[in-house]
A = this chain, B = another copy of it.
Amino acid sequence: MKGLLGQPVPVVAANAGKKQGGIILRVANAANVSVTDPTAQQNREGYRVFVEQRNIVVSGPTDAAVLYGTFALLRQIQTRQPLTNLALTSTPKIQYRLLNHWDNPNGTVERGYAGSSIWKWYELPELLDPRYEDYARANASIGINGVVINNVNASARYLTPEYLRKVAALAGVFRAYGIRVYLSVFWAAPKTVGGLPTSDPLDPRVRRWWTDKTNEIYQTIPDFGGFLVKANSEGEPGPQDYGRNHAEGANMLAEALGQHDGIVMWRAFVYKANSNGDRFKEAYEEFKPLDGKFASKALVQVKNGPIDFQSREPFHPLFGAMPSTPLVLEVQLTQEYLGFATHLVYLAPLIKECLEADTYAKGKGSTVAKVVDGSLDNHKISGIAGVANIGSDRNWTGHPMGQANWYSFGRLAWDYTLSAETIAQEWTRMTLTTEPQAVNTIADVLVKSRDIYVRYTTPLGLHHIMGQSIHFGPEPWLSKSARPDWTAIYYHKADSIGLGFNRTATGSNALALYKPEVQKEWGNPQTCPPDYLLWFHHVPWKQTMSTGRTLWNEICYRYYTGVDSVTWMQQRWEQVKPSIDPVLHADITARLQIQHKEAIWWRDACVLYFQSFSRQRIPAPFTQPDRSLEAVKQIVDIYQMR
């Protein structure tokens, strides 16, 4: 308040007598929060902010609720909204709103582009970096109430007493901010930590070990949140090593949690190496048959799309397909396939696109959001997870605009009905400037930025054509890898006829995983939205599209205008210069220069490579790149050298 108002605000005790013109924080069971389902856990986090006897009252049933209400009030002030007749009421739509950190014990962050991990394991528990509290406060301000602090490719260290003391020290900092700690677990821990000969989830010794270990964790961290599990995926051990299925694994952990207030989130991100298969279908085929077999404390965590955090994916076919199982939506805030920390890509539109997608599971309007918040299938438990883009960089996220992705994830997790535009405006006002024209300009750039990124990298539904070890750069020519489904040609299937992955009935038939209404729209290249076209169809180069252009001309059109749009972003950013801190403005100006350079790099790599199949000219008014495919490949190779 002092920072916002420029003068100190005295803090007085509750019994300081009748005063006016102040702010009252009131934790009260009868918080008068309007609720649709009074039994839901998340109503304990709902707040009300209102005016009473010339005081502003922030009220809620729990400390956390009042904390969230306080941040709502601060947001109201910071975004310069009126305070007269203040009446804010809000309850989170999703119960578990988690950040997932892919942070390793050695301080690196898998897919981290903002320095090293903020957790300093060699210093914990004795030394608490002041940033731990800054981090907790930032999360609380946007409604995040849990953090999984370690990588899903998990070290067993965290399950040892030595490391649990460290984790407990973090939990001690987070507790006052309504944030609970969760751990990713290494499936083979009963062997590596416990000294058992097996990790078979049906073995009584293993079950006992997990129960004892869980009890030990709760003794150390009384408000521990639970477990996140990546098992039998990309080389990680899991219950299938013993002939057990994912539900048997998850249920064993749920049993270990027993009466403790904790949950298991079991990731559905699994796929086996199969050069004749379609990775698109594999999670569905493994998990769909298990619907109804998971214990009540077990949730299945599903990425927004069926492949892996591409710049645009159709919604994951498991959404709507497992009505008996609460599904956690996992989205990625760290921009692994969206330009790392040098490209400005605002992710709220991507997250919204998934949440608003209609699964038709129970007829029209069965959106992914309704699956995730539990309302479609009457689940009492619901969750959403964002893979954190946070690191040790002074500005937390590398790209200053990356903060908007952290922010918007929290806001959407609380209330997914907020528009991407509204959140962009809010964040801009709270972070960069309150000058109205500049706010509009910046929010406009933010909202359009994800579509622009898609255009210059993977238009029309192209996917997974990035560099094998530089996920921010192009490598559509990648044809060999340790696994066929880690190449690019597996996905784009370019040939002399055309481009795209036929997932209709004449192809892999992945489309059949969706409800008939979805199949109908996407199954016909004429009605399939161009954004998803090459996800589902192998389209001839010369086929005319709804835009009136042939596929080849449309691809070129999108790559070239995508690059032009980066220029547009640069121009818009230059316009707001007078309203922005000069150092920050210069930083983002330089990052936009890099983005422009790399957009051209993507464009040239892709049009030159695909041209070797289409054997057509670049359509006017665009001109052939002034370098060869070989020259572009050399640059990509440099970034993949040891």
Interface residues of chain A, those whose CB is within 8 Å of chain B, are: 105, 107-108, 113, 115-116, 122-123, 126-128, 130, 155-157, 160, 162-163, 186, 192-193, 340-342, 391-394, 472, 583, 587, 590-591, 593-594, 597, 635, 638-639, 641-642
Which residue of B is nearest A586, CB measured?
B127
Which B residues lie within 8 Å of A127 (CB)?
587, 590-591, 593-594
- Of B126, B155, B394, B638, which one neighbours A394 at CB under 8 angstroms? B394
Contact A122 B342 (CB under 8 A): yes
* Known contacts A162-B635, A392-B115, A393-B392, A123 near B591 by CB under 8 Å: yes
Cα separation A127 to B590 with both chains bound (whole Å): 5
Q: Which chain B positions have C-beta within 8 A of A392?
A: 115-116, 392-393
Q: Are A192 and B641 in contact (CB under 8 A)?
A: yes
Number of copies: 2
Query: Could you name 7 residue pairs across A and B whose Cβ atoms are closer than 8 Å?
Result: A113-B122, A116-B116, A116-B391, A123-B594, A127-B593, A130-B583, A394-B394
Closest CB-CB distance, A346 to chain B, in whole Å?
A: 19
Do A594 and B126 touch (CB < 8 A)?
yes
Task: Please state if A157 and B639 are interface contacts (CB–CB under 8 Å).
Answer: yes
Contacts of A113 in B (CB 8 A): 122
Which residues of chain B are near A155, meaning CB under 8 Å?
641-642
Contacts A107-B115, A127-B593 known; 14 new A-B pairs at CB < 8 A: A115-B115, A116-B116, A122-B342, A122-B594, A123-B342, A126-B590, A126-B597, A130-B583, A155-B641, A156-B641, A157-B641, A160-B638, A162-B639, A392-B393
Assembly CA distance A472 to B122 (angstroms): 10
* B594 near A157: Cβ-Cβ < 8 Å: no
The 5 closest A-B pairs by CB, nearest first: A127-B590, A116-B116, A126-B590, A126-B593, A115-B116
Q: Which residues of B contact A107 (CB under 8 A)?
A: 115-116
Separation of A416 and B393 alpha carbons in the complex (Å): 36
Q: CA–CA, A404 to B104, complex, Å?
A: 29
**CB <8 Å contact, B638 and A162:** yes
Shortest distance between the CB of A634 and any CB in chain B (Å): 8
Across the interface, which residues of B come within 8 angstroms of A472, CB to CB? 122
CA distance A385 to B642 in the complex (A): 25
Residue from the set A394, A587, A641 with the largest chain B CB neighbour count within 10 Å: A641
A340 CA to B639 CA in the complex, in Å?
30
Whole-angstrom distance between the alpha carbons of A591 and B638 in the complex? Answer: 41
Least distance between A217 CB and chain B CB atoms (Å): 16
> In the assembled complex, how far is the CB of residue A171 from the closest CB belonging to chain B, in whole angstroms?
18
A394 contact set on B, CB distance < 8 A: 394
Give chain B nearest CB distance to A3 CB in angstroms.
Answer: 19
Q: Which B residue's beta carbon lies closest to that of A598?
A: B122
Distance of A156 Cα from B594 Cα, bound (Å): 22
Using Cβ atoms and an 8 Å threshold, which residues of chain B touch A590?
A: 123, 126-128
CB contacts (< 8 Å) of A126 on chain B: these are 590-591, 593-594, 597
**Complex: how many Å from CA A575 to CA B593?**
53
Interface centre among A122, A393, A394 (most CB of B within 10 A): A122
Shortest distance from the beta carbon of A590 to any chain B beta carbon, whole Å: 4
Within the complex, the shortest CB–CB distance from A340 to chain B, in Å, comes to 6
- Contacts A162-B635, A394-B394, A587-B127 given; indicate if A122 touches B641 (C-beta within 8 A): no
Closest to A339 in B: B122
A392: nearest chain-B partner, CB-CB:
B115
CA of A545 to CA of B583 in the docked complex: distance in angstroms?
Answer: 64
Q: Verify A341–B122 contact, CB threshold 8 A.
A: yes
Report A213 CB to chain B, min CB distance, Å: 14
> How distant is the Cα of A642 from the Cα of B105 in the complex, in angstroms?
8
Q: Give the docked Cα–Cα distance between A554 and B105 (Å).
A: 37
Cβ distance A485 to chain B, nearest Cβ, rounded Å: 24
For the complex, give the distance between the alpha carbons of A328 and B520 in Å: 73
Determine whether the beta carbon of A638 is less than 8 Å from that of B108: no
Nearest residue (CB) in B for A163 is: B638
Residues of B within 8 A of A163 (CB): 638
